Every structure is written in structure tokens, then in C-alpha cells.
Amino acid sequence: MKAYLNRRYLFSAAHRLHSDVFSESENRYLYGKCNNPYGHGHNYIVEVCVSGQVDPKTGMVCNLVDLDECVRAQVIERYDHMNLNLLPEFKNVVPTTENLCVEIYEILKREFQHAHLERVRIEETMMNSFEYAGGVEPRR
């Protein structure tokens, strides 16, 4: 029997939306307040969804301890209390939450081997969220 497991994690980081392909005024127009040269921050909530057969012996899709450890080491350690713009993956990519979502999905796809990664969803604020499922349509 296949089941889906969702777990939420939290980190806080700073970013600034700015792209060198646009002029100063285009950046201000396009990104508005998010273009403030000093940056600003969010409490990001990352929701990780993994799936797999429920192991009849443990009753688990995967051990939450393994998922927690992987997300902590690969994602939280990397992003918590950091300035996203200064990280290598955002050197030439604007750290919008769309791009952050894709980045975290790629990290977990590579690093987490105990279950199938379905999707990564990030809440940037109470009002905005973003989902990436590897470029394919997620389940409804």
C-alpha cells in the first residue's frame, strides 16, 4: 500500500530580488519593495512530501528521523540565517521562492534515498506558497 508523508520545516533567511540583466529602474519596477538594496527576510516554511510503500514490519513509509536528519543537514544548515543572494546557487539565479523551491527539490532528490521525493512546497508568507514536483504535474 502506497502512502504519502508530509513534514514541515522552518528556516529564516534574507534575500534581495535583483537581476543584472535589467537596469536599475527596471529592477525597481519589476521587483518593487523586494529590490531594496539592503535586502529583507522571511520565515520560510518548507513542506516536504515523500511517498512509498508502507513497510509491513514498521508501518512506515520511511523513518522520520532519517528525513529530519537529511533536511537538517542538507537544507536547514545551508539556508537558516543566511543571505540567499550570497550562496553559489543564487550567484546567477534570482533567489525568488520559485527558484528556491526548485533548488531544495534538487538537493533532496539527490540526497534523500529512503523514500520517493514527491514534492517540495514553500510558504514564503502566510499568503504565498510555491510548489515544485520536478517539472511534472503534482497530484491534485
Partner 1 sequence: MSKYVYLTRKCEFSASHYYHNPEFSAAENRRIFGKCNNLNGHGHNYTLELTVKGSVDSQTGFVINLVDLKEILNREVLDVFDHRHLNKEVPEFAKQIPTSENIAISIWNRVEPKLKMLNAVIHRVRLYETPDLFVDFYGEA
Q: Which residues bind partner 1 (CB under 8 A)?
A: 17, 19, 21-22, 30, 32, 93-96, 98-99, 101-102, 126-138, 140
- Residue closer to partner 1 by CB (options 70, 100) is 100
User: Which is catalytic among the residues 26, 69, 81, 111?
Assistant: 81
**What is the DSSP-derived secondary structure letter of residue 26?**
H
Is there a contact between 115 and 52 (Cβ–Cβ < 8 Å)?
A: yes
* Other C-beta atoms lying within 10 Å of the C-beta of residue 118: 19
Ramachandran category for residue 80: left, alpha or beta (phi over 0 → left; psi -120 to 50 → alpha):
beta
> Active-site residue 18, yes or no?
no
- Residue closer to partner 1 by CB (options 62, 105) is 105
User: Which is catalytic among the residues 34, 47, 114, 131?
Assistant: 34
- 66, 59, 61: which is closest to 50 by C-alpha? 61
> Active-site residue 131, yes or no?
no
Ramachandran category for residue 59: left, alpha or beta (phi over 0 → left; psi -120 to 50 → alpha):
left
Name the minimum Å distance from CB 53 to partner 1: 26
Name the minimum Å distance from CB 39 to partner 1: 15
- Residue closer to partner 1 by CB (options 62, 104) is 104
Q: Active-site residue numbers?
A: 34, 81, 124
